[in-house]
Every structure is written in structure tokens, then in C-alpha cells.
Amino acid sequence: MRSRQLFTPGPTEVPWRVREKMAGPMIHHRTEEFRAIQRETIDDLREVMRTRNPVMLLACSGTGAMEAALVNLTKPGEKVLVTVLGKFSHRWKEIAEAYGLDVATVDARWGDPVRPEDLERALGAHPGVGVVFTTHAETSTGVLQDVESMARIAHAKGALIVVDGITSVCAEKLETDAWGLDVVVGSSQKGVMTPPGLAFLSLSDAARARMEGAGQPAYYFDLKRALASHEKGDSPWTPPIGLVMGLHEALKMIKEEGLESVIERHARNARAVRAAVRALDLEVFPSVPANCTTAIVIPDGHAEQIRKHLYDVYGIRIAGGQERLKGKIVRIGHLGHYFESDIFTVVSSFESTLLDMGLVAAGGRGVEALFREFHEM
């Protein structure tokens, strides 16, 4: 079978070293051997999240960790504020409503970030909000938000800030402690190059204090229980042992490359893809683009056919638009283990697809833009 490659913003490609670790023999979790792996994994996560706060591992996808954060930090009926600018940020609202919270939102057009001054105004209009739920990189539109400024504003109004960092951890500058982010949520199948099923979150002192007083009924996702258990190097339930071993290896790879280099590589890849898109006379969708994915406006309803052709003919899987953006955009993921040669692969295949479909007259302009970006020609 021809090789296939994922260029989707989750799941992302899993490097060989990570797959090999996960294919090894199963070990038991109530052993020193596993405790050491878990401890190192958590310490490395704290490094990439730039925090001294405790970090917890949860056996679920990213949404599970979002739910865990919300359930443990809020009371039923309490008023919270959510920034809504796309499908994933809207998920905070859906979770909050599912738990009976009183949800106020501050919205942006899909494709734009919520501006910090809009958040400030919204907090002024909704006094008594104790927690702001927001999103660093909104993957459905490819938008990056200024969560550093948002944290300052939330704290000035006496609110905590909970950040979905699921597609920004290891892909963007993200300073959990320096920016005062009370909770940052991440998950395995994104920038940390591991299969789906393992999520993580950090908790500041203020978040832990709030958890003591607030919190809704929870059992599997009771973070107080997880915290107490992690302090002993343990986990309350059987952890996804294979995934933890995979993440352990992935974080080792990130440390070897260096976090700053990893983030710079993401920024360079994202810049290069955007340059190629513009060279092809196509429009980059977000006004403030994130490094995780490039959303591209596709005119005339060709989006789904482009995706199908890319996969069927070139073995390249990219993402489409979600909900109101379905059929209107495609999203090339470059989050995780992607290097210059991978970017050439995806752009040349994308360009070939446009050529095959008769949407461009000649090939080469996108690839030429990559040469300029990567080699400063």
C-alpha cells in the first residue's frame, strides 16, 4: 500500500520512536517502573507547559479534560464567561450548559479572535463572573488568541482563567506561570505527537483553592482525588499505560530538540504554508493565524473534492471545515512532528491536486514560495 500521511490538526503523525515504545510489552501500573515513567512524563509536561503547578494526566480525549476542569472549578447555577470564536471554543459553552451553569459569552466572527478589550467589556457587563473559559488556538478556524492579555484582564476582575491549550502546547509560545494561566488543558494527539486518549491539565494555587470550595459532584474526574494520587506518583485508576509510555518518549524527543526550537519550527512551517497558499492566489482564512493549522478559503464548493483527491491520489489527509465552515475551507495541519520535507510534500501534493482538477494553469508557485521561506531565496 502506498504511504499515507496525516496533515490534520489532531490526530497528528506519531513518530516511529513513540510507536516503538508503545509496541513494547505491557507493564503494571502499581510498580516503581511505571511510577518513574509517570513522574518523568509529568515533569516534562510541566516543562513544556512552562509551569511549576501540578499537572494531572487523565484517561480521555481533550474534551474530557475540559469537562474535568469545568466540573471541578464551578458550582451549578454559577455565572461564567466563555469566549466563542469557533467550534472548539463553543464547546466550553456546551459543557457549561450541560452542567447547569449560567453562561455569558463574548463572541467573535469565526476567523477572528476575541479581542482582549471585548473580554474586558464583557466582564464589566457581567459582574460576579468567577471563571473565564477561553481557547489559545481555535483549531476550527486556525485563529490564535492573546491569552496573556486575557489573563491579566480576568485577574484584574477577580476571575480565574481556564485555557484550552490543546493545539498550542509545544506549537506556540505558551507561558502558563508567567502569564498567570490558572488552568491549561492539553491532549496527546496534538503537538505532543502521541495517539489520542490521554489528556492533561495544570492547576494554579488559585485554581486549587477554588476547587476546595466549589466543584460539582464528580467521581472519575474528581481532580482532588487525581491530585492526591499523583502526589504519591500514582493514579487513582488504571492509567492508559501504553499512551503514557508513548508520551514519555515523545516528550524526550521534544526535550532533545529543545522546546524553543520546536516552537520555532512550528512557526516556520506555518509561515511557509501561508506563503504557499498566497502564492497560489488563495486566501488564508484566519485574521490572526495560529501555528497548528492553516485554514484556506476554497471558492466554488471545491473543498471536499480537493480533500478526497489529495487522499485518493497522493495519500495526504487534510482536514475540512466544521459546521458553518463545512465545504468552505480546508485545513492543512502542521502540528507536531513535521519538518521542512513534510511541508514540501503537503504543498506539492496540494498544488498537484489543484492542477489535476484544472483549478490552476501550472504547477510550482506554491513550492517556489516554500523555497523562498525556507531558504530565503
Ligand X SMILES: *Cc1c(COP(=O)(O)O)cnc(C)c1O
Task: Kindly list the residues in this chain that would bind ligand X in the complex (CB under 6 A).
Answer: 9-10, 61-63, 88, 135, 139, 164, 166-167, 187
Which residue, 168 or 348, has its beta carbon nearer to ligand X? 168
Q: Which is nearer to ligand X, 10 or 246 (CB)?
A: 10
Question: What Rg value do the Cα atoms of the chain yield, rounded?
Answer: 21
* Least spacing, CB of residue 56 vs ligand X, in Å: 16
Which residue, 61 or 216, is less far from ligand X as judged by CB?
61
- By CB neighbour count within 10 A (0-12 exposed, 13-18 middle, 19+ buried), where does 362 fall? exposed
| Residue closer to ligand X, measured from CB, 120 or 172 | 172
Residue number, 61 or 305, with CB nearest to ligand X: 61
CB of residue 91 to ligand X, shortest distance in Å = 6
The kind and range of the H/E element at 199 are strand 199-203
Measured from the CB atom, is 68 or 360 closer to ligand X? 68
How near is the Cβ of 331 to ligand X at its closest, in Å?
10
Q: How far apart are the C-alpha atoms of 276 and 291, rounded to whole Å?
A: 15
The smaller minimum CB distance to ligand X, of residues 34 and 88, is found at: 88
Q: How far is the CB of 157 from ligand X (least distance, A)?
A: 24
88, amino acid identity: F
**Cβ nearer to ligand X, comparing 113 with 366:** 113
Nearest to 270 by CA among 249, 295, 251: 295
Bridge partner list, 13: none
Q: Is the dihedral of CA 270, 190, 305, 110 positive or negative?
A: negative
User: With contact defined as beta carbons under 8 Å apart, do 212 and 222 qualify?
Assistant: no
Shortest distance in whole angstroms from residue 185 CB to ligand X = 8
φ/ψ of residue 103, rounded to 5: -100, 120
Taking CB atoms, the residue at the shortest distance from ligand X is 62
Residues 6+ apart with CB under 8 A from 306: 298, 330, 350, 353, 354, 357
Smallest distance, Å, CB 164 to ligand X? 5
Nearer to ligand X (CB atom), residue 136 or residue 307: 136
Q: What angle do CA 275, 280, 285 make, to 5 degrees?
A: 65
**CA 209/CA 53 separation, integer angstroms:** 13
Cα–Cα distance, 82 to 168 (Å, whole number): 18
Lookup: cell for 139? 483549531
Angle at alpha carbon of residue 55, lines to 248 and 188, rounded to 5°:
45
The amino acid occupying position 122 is A
We find the least distance from the C-beta atom of residue 127 to ligand X, in angstroms, to be 28
State in angstroms the smallest separation of the CB of 153 from ligand X. 21
Q: How far is the CB of 139 from ligand X (least distance, A)?
A: 3
Taking Cα atoms as reference points, which of 316, 326, 320 lies closest to residue 356?
Answer: 316
